[in-house]
Structure 1
């Protein structure tokens, strides 16, 4: 039996300082942030809204912003896939380069990196957690020497790029909006209105994907059921999902087999659509 759709109105969630969420982190992440005497000072510059958290798999989706001067205390890798879409500000990731609004990465487990931001940044930050089809393990953080930045010390134990490849820095602002292939995302019925999209990452084996979808003004549709889990994350504009009027950054979770809500947008919107593997 299909589960129920969950709608999270991100604009109503309070910003929570990193000091307050420290104890809720996965121990394998929290206990490997670097010098314990400096961690709470670092996290005082980190703010988040939790859009999704699944303790069973450790998957999380967070709306994150940092204050100027944020700097990770050490280089590290994760056993989980990490994925992010930047919404504003700027950040430098030692493994992937300089990021600004519209830039995206999908990082397989094992790649050593650290983040630095003089200006501060805002992003949707996603840790995949346990997902065998994505070659992703539980959320963790493993401290590594600085000289390993941009390298994968796990490479000898398996595939270093995973089933989606290593998307180091996708500059979506330089990508063309194309006619949207709705066969996986299933955002509307077969005869529904046309959409435009940009594919950010794609699993070559399962068909799972992360896609930016452009919803035009005055668009109305009903999200069809499919055998895949889906997350619709509103990053720009506004829309109505069912009875809820949503602003950025809000989330709609649609379990496998469940029909999604009706969606309409008077002024247009942009969605980050995460589609999982078939169930």
Structure 2
């Protein structure tokens, strides 16, 4: 198994993990096929065409938890990438798009600044003429988000855009089905730091756009804009947090980061001091578990 897919950066329980995205190599889908969840890789479509499909798919693995199958990846595709079939996942899937353009049969056309949160069971496929780039997140096992392990279940074309997962569970889940949120057209608001806890009480200056929020638990995903000159330590909170740098340059605990870099802060642990000279934007994901 490629060491890119081990818990990235040698993550140590109870300690902050900082991943410099620029230091993580791009690898093709062909190179990481064996490390995919079996229930995912065995359902990619026509075996004779899978090799060509994966050669057009590139990724930097920023986070992978084999215990839950959660993963966070920086993904890009070559022009002409097209999934071989329609399918759904047993896991929640979430993405923030950074560039290019892609059509998802369940949700529509996406470009830089667009976002989706898809509950398990919704049938979809991806196709792009020009290629696209995104931060792609598979939630993995999470009871509070009604999410199971990462998988791929092939469905007929006519199921595209429909919920096809067996069972009586709520098809929209506790965050709702965020089919396509055009965050680039959303207004920046003064940031409510109650859940994210990026700074101590009363520290002004941050702005944000909420992308999705769990209606029955603490979890949320939010874009946070850090102004030029921002410099603050990150206090501990009771939830695990993931900070993905999407724009600008950031220093975290003395480590200079570029997009797309990741900081994982375990529950109950102080985060590193964050500083940006020219400003930065973060995708902040507060976990339910």
Instruction: State if a TM-score over 0.5 links the two structures.
Output: yes
Q: How many residue pairs are counted as aligned between the two chains?
A: 277
User: Are residues 1:64 and 2:65 paired?
Assistant: no
CA distance in 2, matches of 1:257, 1:207: 15
For the aligned residue pairs, the C-alpha RMSD in angstroms reads 0.9
Q: Tell me whether 1:214 sits opposite 2:229 in the alignment.
A: no
Given that 1:178 and 1:196 are in contact with CA atoms closer than 8 Å, whether structure 2 keeps it comes out as yes
1:52/1:62 contact within 8 Å kept: yes
Cα distance between partner residues in 1 of 2:176 and 2:81? 28
The answer to whether the Cα contact below 8 Å between 1:218 and 1:265 also exists between their aligned partners in 2 is yes
Q: Matches of 2:119 and 2:51 in 1, distance apart?
A: 27
Report SS of the residue matched to 2:32.
helix
TM-aligned CA deviation for residue 125 of structure 1 = 0.3
> What corresponds to 2:53 in structure 1?
42
Q: Distance in 2 between matches of 1:224 and 1:113?
A: 39
Q: Does residue 145 of structure 1 match 2:156?
A: yes
1:34-62 alpha-carbon deviations (Å, 9 max, x no partner): 00000010010000000000000000000
Q: Where does residue 250 of structure 1 map in the other structure?
A: 261
Deviation of 1:222 (Å): 1.0
Q: Is 1:129 the equivalent of 2:140?
A: yes
Partners of 2:166 and 2:103 in 1: CA distance: 24
What whole-Å deviation, never above 9, does each CA across 1:68-89 have from its counterpart, x for those lacking one? 0000000000000000000000
2:241 pairs with 1:233: no
Structure 2 counterparts to residues 103-182 of structure 1, below 5 A: 103-154=114-165, 157-182=168-193
Q: Structure 1: which 5+ residue stretches go unaligned?
A: none
CA distance in 2, matches of 1:34, 1:157: 27
Match of 2:10 in 1: none
Structure 1 distance, partners of 2:177, 2:64, is: 24
Structure 2 CA distance for aligned equivalents of residues 223 and 165 of structure 1:
30
How many Å separate the matches in 2 of 1:54 and 1:13? 17
2:179 matches 1:183: no
State how far apart, in whole Å, the 1-side matches of 2:42 and 2:167 are. 26
CA distance in 1, matches of 2:75, 2:167: 33
**Equivalent residue for 2:62?**
51
1:10 correspondence with 2:27:
no
Q: Structure 1's 155 and 216: CA in aligned 2 closer, same or farther, altered over 3 A?
A: farther
- How far apart, CA to CA, are the structure 2 residues paired with 1:262 and 1:194? 16
Runs of 4+ in structure 1 deviating by more than 4 angstroms, as ranges, are none
Structure 2, unaligned runs of 5 or more: 1-12
Task: Please give the TM-score of this superposition, normalised by the length of structure 2.
Answer: 0.94
